[in-house]
Homo-oligomer: A and B are copies of this chain.
């Protein structure tokens, strides 16, 4: 039974917006290396780094009807997250839908399938992370659900969760943990800044992180 859930609690924007500057790798580390979508999702552009709240959408293979339904549910700050009910590489999304999405306040698209009109999407500055690029058109015949929990590229995404996306890929942070993860991510970023300075000076991580004893205990031999 296909349904659209209209009463989704979204992560507080004061929190979800904070992840864009930190990026995917830091967010992923800050939540114990969980939440990373499969790296088959790649950006169609270079240099974009966004965060926002998940607007989830299932689609049938070769059928983009429910994306049209999802756009009505958008709130400013959302990122559209689309997963097909069985694997498909068709071009579900192009410049017309991007125009509509932008007008509805959507910040970008994450889709475990294909997109098209990528020259236009790049020109518009509408950021996309997709499995493939394909001009293959889709139909509008089969229902699926919008704003329900979905598995996208191997990871569970609940509507209203935080989505972080940059050149490294896409990560989801659950709404309940987002504030805590953001704080840890900031601490991690600060700590990395310090390490970066030491490495620039030629210091070795073997010394900074005191790895030599453990390497020896495990039996590493130098010849």
Interface residues of A (CB under 8 A from B): 1-7, 23-25, 28-29, 32-34, 36, 38-39, 42, 46-47, 49, 60-63, 65, 68-69, 71-72, 85-91, 94-97, 99-100, 103-104, 114, 116-119, 122, 132-137, 139-143, 149, 151, 154-156, 166-169, 171, 192, 195-196, 199-206, 209, 211, 215, 218-223
Contacts and interface: CB of A to CB of B under 8 A. Distances in A.
A139 B143 CA distance: 11
Contacts of A29: 137
A123 to B, nearest CB: 9
B204 A72 contact: yes
How many copies of this kind of chain does the complex include?
Answer: 6
Contact of A215 (B143, B149, B199): B143
Contacts of A139: 60, 141-142
Nearest to A149: B156
Nearest to A60: B62
B7 A223 contact: yes
Residue of A1, A117, A195, A211 with most chain B CB atoms under a 10 A cut-off: A117
A63 B221 CA distance: 18
Contacts of A2: 218-221
A60 B61 CA distance: 9
Contacts of A223: 3-7
A58 B142 CA distance: 19
